[in-house]
Structure 1
Amino acid sequence: MQNFNYGVDQLTVGLCLDIASGRLKGLINGQAAARIDASWREVEKIAHGHVAVYGINTGFGPLCDTRISENDTSLLQSNILKSHSVGIGDPIPQEIAKLMLITKVQALAQGYSGVSRQTLERIIWHIDNNIIPVVPEKGSVGASGDLAPLSHLFLPLIGLGELFVNGLIQPADKVLNDKNLKPLVLGPKEGLALINGTQFILSFAVKAVERLHNALNIADIIGAVSLEGLMGSARPFDARLHAIRPYKGTQHVAERLAAMLQGSAIGSAHADCDRVQDPYSLRCMPQVHGSSRNAWLHLKEMTEIELNSVTDNPIVFDAGDTISGGNFHGQPMAIPLDYATIAAAELGNIADRRCYLMSEGRYGLPKLLTGNAGLNSGLMIPQYTTAALVTENKTLCFPASADSVPTSLGQEDHVSMGSISGRKLNQVIDNLEYIQAIELLYATQALEFRRPLKSTPVIEACFELVRQHVPIIEDDRVFANDINILHRLIKSGQLLTTVNEAAQTHNVNLQDTKDFGIY
């Protein structure tokens, strides 16, 4: 297993996910240790000195003018974890909580936060042993740090809160006792450094970058199957067209669609037909899917900057020079998360239009994609589900970052609400994956009516995988079962893996460029 050096190496979305999955081990090397120890010593000096420094020898928020005695600096730090643990709602997924631990170590290990190596090593112990804190989903306003969720995340360090152990929730003090570990006594600034930061927002962003990356690739694949089922034209994907409007996302999607469709017998069969133009949901896939890719690129760029940033407050520089600033403010992430939410919703919007188009009985397809309409409703109602999900996604597109409610007696008078942005984006992707499953059901059924003509090896590989799990629709059945099966093929990555393997076998280039990868 390879190692990742916290605070020294550059963290990417892919590497972050690899640490979370156990494929990569994160550790603190000598270079990071020296920085961490130096910063820790500077904070110790401040704690024993006479100059007021926020959060080290003063209270928090509107209590920043209240001096704390030298003897109470440790109690101050444990108190902040307790008093700020006000989260509510269901626990966030364990993977997200684990990503919070990983991203927090990366930020603190850069040596500007005044935490001890002992504290960081305990957090790494939780990561390595997959003993993950229980973190409620709601309660962060996304500025002055993700205070509530980060407080819950680090309560177990002082023997409080709850932990997931082998999927079961247990009290932290019991788990530590079972593992022969004692609760930590936090030093000056440590509690504040632990809860000041954007790791809740950031971890939802990391997961969204991965999930939306998958959804974007799936959108192109299923869109190509739909186009073949509708006997649409591949001409709008000609590289010359997109060279004169050269958006990165648009060009990438056009290249992928052209590669998947090149050499199709279905495409050749209607090369000289009298259809002048296809509907936008087919013809404009590069422009629409590509715009969503551009939004994804922006989110990825912002996420990777945040992954390697120091986001607590105050920041401790050399020789005890401290600056109280605003690196904890979530706005740099909140806006791109809201932008990406719209991008994800639009992938579902255009997919729903293709489902509707395939059910209309146009272009040689039977109405509702059934040969026995009347007795059978065929694929009438699954498009109702896509319509419902599309509208639900639209309601989730209101940008949380456009709102701000002052907190902390007005000291924190502008907040990002980015925590809500991150959660909403993942909700939209949840719905999008089901919309894509329904489009796949329509597209593969449409392709049946083009037989004996075949599409390309890549599209046929997609079709064959579906048929291994979902048979051709001849009579009405419980279509929810089919939708759930196809959803699992998409969400698990099996569909994407099958298509990529077929592409590799047949020398079809569908590989990510550096821009569009997650490493």
Structure 2
Amino acid sequence: MPHVTLSGEGLTIAQTYAIAKHYDPVELDREAAMNMAASRRMVVRYLDEERTVYGVTTGFGRFSEVVIPADKRHTLQVNLLRSHSAGVGTPFSETVVRGMMALRANALAKGYSGVRPVVVEQLVNLLNKNVVPVIPSQGSVGASGDLAPLAHLALVLIGEGMATYQGQVLPGAKALERAGLTPLVLEAKEGLALINGTQAMGAMGVLAVHEATGLADWADAAAALSIDVLRGIPLAFHPAVARVRPHPGQALVQQHLRDLLHGSQLTTSPGQLRVQDAYSLRTTPQVHGAAREGLAHIADVVTAELNSATDNPLLFADEDMVISAGNFHGEPLALVLDYLGIVAAEWASISERRIERMVNPTLSGLPAFLTTHGGLHSGLMLAQYTAASLVSENKVWAHPSSVDSIPTSANQEDHVSMGTTSARKSLTIVGNLRYVLAIELLAGAQAADLIGPTLLAPATRKVYEWVRTMVPTLEDDRSPAADIEVVAAAMLSEPGQQVLNELGLGRGIIVS
């Protein structure tokens, strides 16, 4: 398997996801190591010259005016990690933590943080050996970086904290020993450099964006199957509609729906059954398209952040400048990850309305709750309840975190982003979206069985058949929970991606 080379430049969402989720190996770029060495020489020179430099020869935050004696600078870095490891709550998943390590290594590899290459090499070793720090998920305010989560991460590098290795949770020193690694001994500035950054919110943002990108196509596929079995009117998706409202996302979804519904024996013309469809069918391109455009913008911002130096202070070796600034502030991610939560909530919201139309006999013309033995059987009645519950829950999670700020560090850090909360919420909403789309696919497949799947369009029949490879037709009542779980998991699997490719989907969020 080829290595992902970390240089501080060009790292993509897909590469980060592969490192975090699929254990792709990583390595430090040689030129990046030289750039890091150059900024490190600045730190050494400033120490020799006894300059006052924040975090190098001074304390942190409110203590930035306190000069630290030369013989205490190593202790300063260790104390920083220990004191800032104040996280609480359920630990992040190993996937999130692996993403954090990859992103922190990439940020340091840019060469503006004044750390030795060995610091990044230690992060690389942890990734390649799969030593995963245990990091509580709560406690970051998203400015000065993700201080608490990154401090828990950094403790393991020096043989403290806790880590998971080969399925066991161990003290950091024991995990390193079993992996054949030696604890890192920090020098001046290096503890600060390890925790000043946006990598907790960034890692969650990567996972949420990557999964939402795949679900964007499944939303179109599920909608097409629903429109087909509900005998919708494809004229609403005519290219002329998008020409007079030229949003690229709308045009793309209209194209998807035209392609997916082509050849259906179920879809209708205006006036054949009804003059026009309900909004949840007719405005699918407008809603899905706007969500796609929003996701494209979010992905651009997240990608920029993956390749950013988010430390403080920053050291510019070519200009011999050290600058205390604010690249650690999570506002760019906080705003777009709040936006991502809204985008995913809207996909789920319109999906649930299509589910309701399928299970409601007054709206669908199909048997109530998609069972032929109503009364004795309840069919998919409660599956729609589950979708409604998740959509309602999303409305709570979609409330923005970025509008809030609570000053910290004795009012030195008097505006913070709360971006890590934005990231946690967006990841939750994307997970809920996956379940709602799975329920829509199950309802569409069940409706197709009641109508006759041979009447479907060739493409929507392929969607139906894919669902039926995993879940049999609902003849007698059974628990829908397992069915929902298996379809939800399959959507973002390799076979699921293959189905999207065969349908002409899976080409990205926006095709211009």
What is the TM-score when the length of structure 1 is the normalising length? 0.94
Determine the structure 2 residue equivalent to 1:29.
29
Map 1:87-486 → 2, pairs under 5 A: 87-267=87-267, 273-318=272-317, 320-361=320-361, 362-451=363-452, 453-486=454-487
- 8 Å CA contact 1:433–1:491 kept in 2: the answer is no
- SS of equivalent to 1:316: strand
Report SS of the residue matched to 1:408.
coil
SS in 2 for 1:163: strand
Q: List per-residue Cα deviations over 1:297-342 (Å, max 9, x = no partner).
A: 1110100110111001000012541110000000010000001101
Whole-angstrom CA distance in 2 between matches of 1:373 and 1:154: 59
2:459 & 2:50 partners in 1: Cα distance? 70
* Equivalent residues of 2:176, 2:183 under 8 A apart: yes
CA contact (8 A) 1:218 1:496 kept: no
Number of corresponding residues: 510
Range moving further from structure 2, 178-187 or 29-38: 178-187
1:449 is paired with a residue whose SS is: helix
CA distance in 1, matches of 2:290, 2:355: 21
1:44-74 Cα distance to aligned partner (Å, 9 max, x none) = 1112223211000000000000001122222
Cα contact 2:352–2:440 (8 A) shared by 1? yes
Q: Which runs of 5+ in 1 are unaligned?
A: 504-508
Which deviates more from structure 2 when the two are superposed, residues 173-182 or residues 67-76? 173-182
The 3 A distance-change label for structure 1 pair 351 and 179 is closer
Contact in 2 for aligned 1:6/1:27 (Cα 8 Å): yes
Equivalent residue, structure 1, for 2:507:
512
Q: Which stretch shows the higher mean deviation, 352-361 or 306-315?
A: 352-361
* Counterparts of residues 35-50 of structure 1 (less than 5 Å): 35-50=35-50
- Residues 223 and 282 of structure 1 are in contact (CA less than 8 Å); yes or no, is this contact kept in structure 2? yes
* Structure 2: gaps of 5 or more residues: none
Per-residue CA deviation, residues 238-259 of structure 1 (Å, 9 max, x unaligned), is 2221122122221221111111
Distance 1:21 1:427 in 2: 17
Aligned partners of 1:72, 1:320: CA distance in 2, in Å? Answer: 25
8 A contact 2:201–2:419 mirrored in 1: yes
Counterpart residue type for residue 311 of structure 2: D
Distance 2:472 2:174 in 1: 51
What is the SS of the residue equivalent to 2:410? helix
CA RMSD of aligned residues (A): 1.9
TM-superposed CA distance for 1:15, in Å, is 1.6
Q: TM-score, normalised by structure 2?
A: 0.95
1:344–1:429 Cα contact (<8 Å) kept: yes
How far the C-alpha of 1:514 sits from its partner, in A, is 7.8
Matched residue type, 1:317: F
Please give the secondary structure, in 1, of the residue aligned with 2:326: coil
How big is the shift at 1:108? 0.6
CA distance in 1, matches of 2:420, 2:96: 12
Judging changes above 3 Å, is the alpha-carbon distance between structure 1 residues 363 and 28 closer, same or farther for their aligned structure 2 residues? closer
2:324 & 2:45 partners in 1: Cα distance? 17
Partner AA of 2:81 in structure 1: L
Q: Give 1:327's aligned amino acid.
A: N
The residue matched to 1:399 in structure 2 has which SS?
coil
User: Cα–Cα, structure 1 residues 204 and 516, in superposed 2: closer, same or farther, change >3 Å?
Assistant: farther
User: Following TM superposition, by how much is the alpha carbon of 1:431 offset from its aligned partner in structure 2, in angstroms?
Assistant: 1.4
Distance 2:372 2:60 in 1: 70
Of all paired residues, the percent bearing the same amino acid is 41
In the alignment, is the contact (CA less than 8 A) between 1:266 and 1:450 conserved in 2?
A: no
C-alpha distance in 1 between matches for 2:507 and 2:335: 25
Quick one: which amino acid aligns to residue 482 of structure 1? D
What is the aligned partner in structure 2 of residue 506 from structure 1?
none
| d(CA) in 2 for partners of 1:86, 1:240 | 57
Pairing of 1:9-20 with structure 2 (within 5 A) = 9-20=9-20
Q: Whole-Å Cα distance in 1 between the matches of residues 331 and 511 of structure 2?
A: 24
